[in-house]
Structure 1
Amino acid sequence: MKKKEYSNGEVTVIWQPEKCIHSGICVKGLPKVFKPEEKPWINIQGASTEDLVHQVKQCPSGALGLYMEEGEEKPATRQEPSSQTCEVMPNGPLMVYGNIEVKLSNGEVEKKFKTTAFCRCGSSKTKPYCDGTHKNIEFKD
């Protein structure tokens, strides 16, 4: 899986584009850092380390991660839920927070941890999971 890293010397932000569901939470939270119209799209100098860490943890898909200069990678997830919870994202995926097992149509079982985005638009190429296609087709509830 492709992975890009951006460092400010204190923290390195990791972006895995294949996981991104284009929720826009990162852009709304730190618009001086996350600029999808620019290359590179992450300007890690645009915020403090503390603000970067806080925002990366809000990523619903896990596409954003980070590690501190000690080198320990930390997943980009919201606070760990004590049980599974679901959230319907407006015009987007069904988010399931917590550790789950997904039984696929072919009978295989996949274990998912912390955050899983399920397709609601019907056009994802990675069904049952969201791949962000809902943005391209302008899916509306």
Structure 2
Amino acid sequence: MKDITKKYTNGEVTIVWKPNVCVHSEVCFHGLPEVFNPQSKPWINAEGATTQRIIDQVKRCPSGALTYYLNADAQAEGGIAPEITAESIVEPLPNGPLLVYGNIVVKDAEGNETRKNKVTAFCRCGASSNKPYCDGTHAKIQFTDQPPATT
């Protein structure tokens, strides 16, 4: 798959979208439909909300397909968005993926390493076609954290 990166700005913040990373969790447009509307073209309207509301919503993206940078920070760094470092935090989403926040390295079965930052969503349901990453299949199969009822 082609590595596409699209950017949308309101002058203060630039939203960066990497469609091939997206797991279609729908967190973005359910949380801020004024900005993220898949029925519109372009689907991101950076003028649809305040900069802070955009930042808060982008931080909720479970796959890291959506990121952002403040334009003032990028200009101060000579046009390059500053690198963000953070501690790693692990959070299981109810009935969904395991989210890992921060900079991590994921090693596959062949020993290949992939560097991830921001938020990485790992499959917990076992049905993802993109293991170890979540692809949203948990919603289709109605994965639940609750153990099956016994009779």
Scaled to the shorter chain, the TM-score interval is 0.7 to 0.9
Are residue 80 (structure 1) and residue 83 (structure 2) matched?
Answer: no
**Native 8 Å contact 1:121 1:139 kept in 2:** no
Tell me what 1:37 maps to: 39
User: Which deviates more, 46-55 or 103-112?
Assistant: 103-112
User: Which deviates more, 98-107 or 28-37?
Assistant: 98-107
1:1-141 superposed matches below 5 A? 1-69=3-71, 70=75, 71-73=79-81, 80-81=86-87, 84-135=88-139, 137-141=140-144
Residue identity (%): 51
User: 1:68 & 1:85 partners in 2: Cα distance?
Assistant: 23
- Structure-2 change in CA distance of 1:122 and 1:46 (3 Å): same
- Structure-2 change in CA distance of 1:80 and 1:47 (3 Å): same
- Say which SS state the counterpart of residue 47 (structure 2) adopts: helix
Deviation at 1:74, TM superposition (A): 5.5
**Counterpart of 1:48 in structure 2: which amino acid?**
T
**Counterpart of 2:62 in structure 1: which amino acid?**
P
> Structure 1: which 5+ residue stretches go unaligned?
none
User: 2:114 & 2:12 partners in 1: Cα distance?
Assistant: 35
Aligned length: 136
User: 1:60 & 1:74 partners in 2: Cα distance?
Assistant: 21
- Structure-2 change in CA distance of 1:44 and 1:133 (3 Å): same
User: 2:17 & 2:62 partners in 1: Cα distance?
Assistant: 13
What is the RMSD computed on CA atoms of the aligned residues?
Answer: 2.7
* TM-score, length basis structure 1: 0.75
> Structure 2: which 5+ residue stretches go unaligned?
145-151
Q: Is the radius of gyration larger for structure 1 or structure 2?
A: 2
